[in-house]
Amino acid sequence: MHIQEELSQRHVLSLTVSNEAGILARIAGLFTARGYNIDSLTVADITDDHAISRITIVTGGPPKVIDQIIAQLDRLVPVHKVTDLTDAGPFVERELALVKVAGTGEDRIEALRLADVFRAKVVDTTIESFIFELTGTTEKVDNFVALMRQIGLVEVGRTGVVGLMRGKEAN
Amino acid sequence: MAEKSGADILVECLVDLGVEVVFGYPGGAVLPIYDALYNHPTIRHVLVRHEQGATHMAEGYARSTGKPGVVLVTSGPGATNAVTGITDALLDSIPMVVITGQVPTQLIGTDAFQEADTVGITRHCSKHNYLVKDPAKLAGVVHEAFHIATTGRPGPVVVDIPKNVQIATAPYARPELKVHASYRPQTKADAAAIDAAVEMLAAAERPVLYTGGGVINSGPQASALLRELAALTGAPVTSTLMGLGAFPASSDQWLGMLGMHGTYEANWAMNQADLILCIGARFDDRVTGRLDAFAPNSRKIHIDIDRSSINKTVDVDLPVVADVGSALDDMIALWKQRGHQQQDLSDWWSRIAQWRAKRSLSYPETGPEIMPQRAIADLYQACMSTGRDVIITTEVGQHQMWAAQHFGFEAPNKWLTSGGLGTMGYGFPAAIGAQMGNPDSITICIAGDASIQMNIQELGTATQYRLPVKIFILNNEYMGMVRQWQELTYESRYSNSYSESLPDFVKLGEAYGWTGIRIEGPEDLESGIRQMLDTAGPVIVDCRVAKLSNCFPMIPSGAAHTDMLLDPNQIAGIMSDEAKALV
C-alpha cells in the first residue's frame, strides 16, 4: 500500500484577528494539527490601539480542503474575519525580498541592469556585493532570485505575502 | 470599590454564573482558590481521586443537566491529567470550564516545580483557552469562558490562573454582558435555506432524518421539535451514538442507531434514501463507512451550528448553519404555513419493513452462558419496570455498542457515552457527575471489565458523597472490541487483548463500602439486576457473560453500508492493507 497525494491549488487567505497572546500559535497549530500546508504566513498589527492584527497565509490544497481551512479558521474565537483573496475577486499581493549578490566586473554591471528592469533598489553595497530590495508578486521575486543565482547569489530574505482586495471597500 | 483577591473574584464569578458543583483536586498552585472555597455556602466541591475523573464527572453532569460542568485542578500534573477529558469534551461538544492553577507569573518559563505549558498543551484540545496574568481581567475572562463554553457548538474552555494572580487583588464588579468582538456563532438559519429545506423534504419520496448529538445539545425543546417534524413528515428517523434519546426508541418511525454497529434497516435506509436530512450530526467515519459508497443516490441537507462540520467529509446539497432547535422550529412553521401534507411513503416503509425483517440485532442464545445482549435487554426491562428516571453511562467497547443497540432511550440527556474520542474510563466518573446533578435518578454505568479499571479509583468518590451509582460490568475477561477486530483482521491472533489478573470486583467494591453482586449465569441475571436496582447505595455488579460473543451487525472499516456483516460466520479473518489502515 502507498499513500496517495492530492492535487493542490494556491490560495491567499487574509485574516483579521484579535492581537492576543498565542493567536499565532493557535493558527499555526491548526494547520499542523489538521495537516494543511503553509507556504507563507505574515502577521503584524494594523490598528492604532494594537488590538487587531492582519495575518496573510498562502496555502494550498484541493478546493474542499481550502473550504475546510477557511471554516476552521473562522471558528477560532479570536478570529474576526477570513477572506479568501484568491476567490473573492481582484486583489493585490506583494512580498518584499532582500537579495544579496556578490561579483565583480561584468557580473556586477549585469546585476545592476537586471535590478533596474525589476525596479529593485540597492540598499547596501560593497566593492564586491549588493543587497537589492525588491517588492512584487511571489513569481516576480522568484524570477529575480533565479536570475541572480546565475550571477552570484549569496543569500535571500523574504517577508512572505501580504495582500488586499482591490477597490474602495474594506474586507 | 473594595478590592478582592483573584481567588475570591473567581469564586464570586462562579456564584454569579450559577455554578452549584465543582469537580476538582487541590494542589500547590490552587491553594488560594481552595481556601476561598473553604466552607463556601453555595458551591459544592466534589473531591475526585484523579483529575481525569473530574473532567468526565463534569461531562456527565453537563450532558445530563444541560448546564456547564466545572473542573478545578492544580498546575502541571493536575492540568495534564485533565487533558483526556478536555479532548473528550471537545470531540463530543460538551460545555465545560476547566480552571487550572499555574506557577506564579515570574516563574513561568523557568521549568518551575509543577509547571506545564497548560495553554500550549490545551490550545488544540479546547474550544478556547486563557492565561490570566492580571486579577483585574479575571472576572471578564471567567464570564467569557462560560459564554464560549455554552454557546454555539459547546465545548471545553480552559482558564489558567497563576498562583500570584489568585492572591493579588483587584476591584471586582460583576461584568456586563457585552457583544464579543469576534465570537458570534450563527444560531438562526438563513430564510432561503429553510425554504429550500422544507421544499426538498416535502417532495422527498424516500426521506430519512439522520440525527445526532446536536439535537441533545440544543436542549429538550429541540427533541420535542424533532418529534413534531417526524410526525408531520412521516419520515423514518435514525441517530448517531451521541444522539440517542432525542427521538423515542418506542416510536414506529425509529430505525435504531446507524453506522458501524447500527441496524440493518437504518443503514440500508441511508443507502437507499432520496433525501437525507442531517440534524446536528457530522457524517463521522463510524457513520458513513466507505465514503464513495455512502448514500449514493440521495440529496443531503445538513443542519449544523458549526460551519466547519458541513462539507468536511461528505458533500451536501444544502447547508443550513443554525442551532438545531431554531432551524427545526423555522422548518415546522414554514411547513405548516405552506400547508404541506405528508407524502405517501408507503412504498418506502414497506421496503424498510423488509430490512427490519432481517432482525439484525438478534443474537443466538443456546449456550449455558449469559449473552451480553441479553444482560442489557434484561437490564432495560428491569429499569423500565421501576418507573423511575434512569440515566445510562457507558465506557468504551463492545458493551457500549450493545448498550446502544439493546437499551431503548425515550428522552434526551439520559444516555452519556464517549462517542468522538472513545475514551475508556469515561463512563464511571460520568455516572458520578450525572448522579450529582440528578440525585433522584437511577444512574447506571454499563462497563466492560477492562474499561472500568481505567478510572476505578473513583469508587472512593462515590462513597464519600454517598452517591448511589450502579456499575454493571459485562465481564468477558477480554478487551472485547480489540479481540473482535483481531478476529476480523488478524486471524484471531489475540495480541494483549485478554484481561489477565482481573480483580475480584465484588471484593473491590466492598473494600470501598459498596455492595458487590456477582451474576454467574442466566439463572442469577434477573434477581441480580433487581437486587442492584433495589439497593439504596452504590452497587458494583460483576456480570459474567459469554466470553467470545461479538458485536453485530457490523460494517467493517472501509466497507459500504450495503456490505454489512450480520453474523460471525461472515468473518473471513483477513483484510486488505487498505482496510487494515483505517481505524
- Least-confidence region, from B27-36, B83-92, B289-298, B419-428: B289-298
What are the CA-CA distances from residue B357 to residues A123, B406, B505 (Å)? 82, 17, 40
Mean per-residue pLDDT of chain B: 96
Q: What region, left, alpha or beta, does residue A46 occupy, with left being phi > 0 and alpha being psi -120 to 50 degrees?
A: alpha
Average pLDDT over residues B380-405: 98
Average pLDDT over residues B248-262: 98
Please give the grid coordinates belonging to residue B275: 433525501
Residue A169 lies in a domain: no
Catalytic residue, candidates B51, B59, B265, B395: B51
Q: What region, left, alpha or beta, does residue B161 occupy, with left being phi > 0 and alpha being psi -120 to 50 degrees?
A: beta
3-class state of residue B18 by DSSP: coil
Average pLDDT over residues B504-532: 98
CATH for A73: 3.30.70.260
Residue B580 has pLDDT above 90, yes or no: no
One-letter amino acid at B141 equals V
Q: Rg of chain A's alpha carbons, rounded to an integer?
A: 19
The per-residue pLDDT for B377 is 98
Q: What is the dihedral of CA B149, A49, B124, B105, to 10 degrees?
A: -90
Average pLDDT over residues A10-32: 95
CB A134 within 8 A of CB A99: yes
The per-residue pLDDT for A9 is 92
Q: How far apart are the two ends of chain A, measured CA to CA in Å?
A: 46
Residue A148 lies in a domain: yes
The per-residue pLDDT for B175 is 87
Q: Rg of chain B's alpha carbons, rounded to an integer?
A: 24
Same domain, A26 and A67: yes
Identify which of A123, A60, A127 has the alpha carbon closest to the alpha carbon of residue A97.
A123
Peptide bond into B522 cis (omega under 30): no
Same domain, A70 and A106: no
Q: How far is B194 from chain A (nearest CA, A)?
A: 21
Second CATH level (architecture) for the domain B3-171:
3-Layer(aba) Sandwich (3.40)
Cell numbers 502577521: residue: A43
Q: Exposed, middle or buried by CB within 10 Å (0-12, 13-18, 19+), for B292?
A: exposed
Residue A169 has pLDDT above 90, yes or no: no
Residue A5 has pLDDT above 80, yes or no: no
Distance CA B416, CA B428 (A): 10
Residue A171 lies in a domain: no
Distance CA B478, CA B497 (A): 6
Q: Is the dihedral of CA B65, B68, B72, B73 positive or negative?
A: positive
Please give the grid coordinates belonging to residue B247: 427521538
The per-residue pLDDT for B85 is 98
What is the span of the domain harbouring residue A141?
Answer: 91-164
Chain B residues with CB under 8 Å of A64 CB are 311, 315
Count H helices, E strands: chain B?
22, 20
Distance CA B497, CA B477 (A): 9
A77 touching B, CB under 8 A?
yes
Residue A155 lies in a domain: yes
Same domain, A44 and A115: no
Residue A59 lies in a domain: yes
Distance CA B72, CA B46 (A): 10
What confidence tier does A2 reach under pLDDT thresholds 50, 70, 90? confident
Residue A139 lies in a domain: yes
Please give the grid coordinates belonging to residue A73: 479558521
Could you tell me whether strands B237-239 and B254-257 are parallel, antiparallel, or unpaired per DSSP bridges? parallel
Q: What region, left, alpha or beta, does residue B513 occupy, with left being phi > 0 and alpha being psi -120 to 50 degrees?
A: left
**Between B128, B183, B577, which is nearest A1 by CB?**
B577
What are the CA-CA distances from residue B424 to residues A96, B84, B430, B494 (Å)? 52, 10, 11, 19
Q: What is the pTM of this model?
A: 0.95
The per-residue pLDDT for B579 is 76
Same domain, A137 and A159: yes
Residue B581 has pLDDT above 90, yes or no: no
The per-residue pLDDT for B578 is 78
Same domain, A121 and A67: no
In the residue annotation, B470 being an active-site residue is answered as no
Identify which of B38, B17, B188, B30 has the alpha carbon closest to the alpha carbon of residue B118.
B30
The DSSP bridge partners found for residue B543 are B474, B519
Distance CA B526, CA A148 (A): 85
Cβ-proximal residues to B226 (8 Å cutoff; 6+ apart), any chain: B209, B211, B215, B237, B246, B247, B279, B328
Annotate B477-522 with three-state secondary structure: CECHHHHHHHHHHECCCCCCCECCCCCCHHHHHHHCCCEEEEECCH
Residue A3 lies in a domain: no
CB B91 within 8 A of CB B421: yes
CATH for A125: 3.30.70.1150
The per-residue pLDDT for B556 is 87
Residue B278 has pLDDT above 90, yes or no: yes
| Pairwise CB contact (< 8 Å): B315 & A21 | no
Angle at B9 between CA B5 and CA B10, to 5 degrees: 120
| Pairwise CB contact (< 8 Å): B182 & A18 | yes
Class of domain B372-551: alpha beta
Picking from A59, A88, A117, the residue at the C-terminal end of a domain is A88
Count H helices, E strands: chain A?
5, 9
Mark B379-400 as b/e (b = at least 16 C-beta within 10 Å): bbebbeeeeeebbbbbbbbbbb
| Pairwise CB contact (< 8 Å): B310 & A77 | no
The DSSP bridge partners found for residue B159 are B99, B130
Neighbouring CB atoms inside 10 A of B244's CB total 26
Q: What region, left, alpha or beta, does residue A169 occupy, with left being phi > 0 and alpha being psi -120 to 50 degrees?
A: beta
| Pairwise CB contact (< 8 Å): A77 & B128 | yes
The per-residue pLDDT for A35 is 92
Catalytic residue, candidates B57, B200, B371, B481: B481
A10 touching B, CB under 8 A?
no
**Between B124, B307, B315, which is nearest A74 by CB?**
B307
Q: How far is A68 from chain B (nearest CA, A)?
A: 6
Q: Which residue of A has its CA nearest to B321?
A: A71
**Count of alpha carbons within 13 angstroms of residue B569, beta-carbon side:** 2
Chain A residues with CB under 8 Å of B581 CB are 1
Residue B571 has pLDDT above 90, yes or no: no
What confidence tier does B403 reach under pLDDT thresholds 50, 70, 90? very high
Chain A residues with CB under 8 Å of B316 CB are none
CB B454 within 8 A of CB B407: no
Second CATH level (architecture) for the domain B191-356:
3-Layer(aba) Sandwich (3.40)
Between A and B, how many CB-CB pairs are < 8 A? 47
Average pLDDT over residues A33-52: 94
Picking from A56, A88, A120, the residue at the C-terminal end of a domain is A88
In the residue annotation, B113 being an active-site residue is answered as yes
Cβ-proximal residues to B499 (8 Å cutoff; 6+ apart), any chain: B449, B450, B477, B478, B479
pLDDT in tens, B339-388: 999 999 999 999 999 999 999 999 998 889 999 999 999 999 999 999 99
In the residue annotation, B146 being an active-site residue is answered as no
In the residue annotation, B409 being an active-site residue is answered as no
Residue A4 lies in a domain: no
Share of chain B above pLDDT 70, in %: 100
Same domain, A103 and A47: no
| Backbone phi and psi for residue B23, each to the nearest 5 degrees, phi listed first | -100, 125
- What value of ipTM does the predicted structure carry? 0.90
Identify which of B226, B275, B217 has the alpha carbon closest to the alpha carbon of residue B254.
B226
Picking from A88, A123, A155, the residue at the C-terminal end of a domain is A88
DSSP letter for each residue of B111-161: T-TT---HHHHHTTTSSEEEE---HHHHHHHHHHHHHHHHSSS--EEEEEE
pLDDT in tens, A102-136: 999 999 999 999 999 999 999 999 999 999 999 99
Same domain, A84 and A16: yes
Query: Which of B121, B307, B580 would best serve as a mutation to test chain A binding (most A beta carbons within 10 A)?
Result: B307
Please give the grid coordinates belonging to residue B490: 488478524
Domain ranges within chain B, ordered by starting residue: 3-171, 191-356, 372-551
CB B407 within 8 A of CB B391: no
State how many domains chain A has.
2
Please give the grid coordinates belonging to residue B46: 466534589
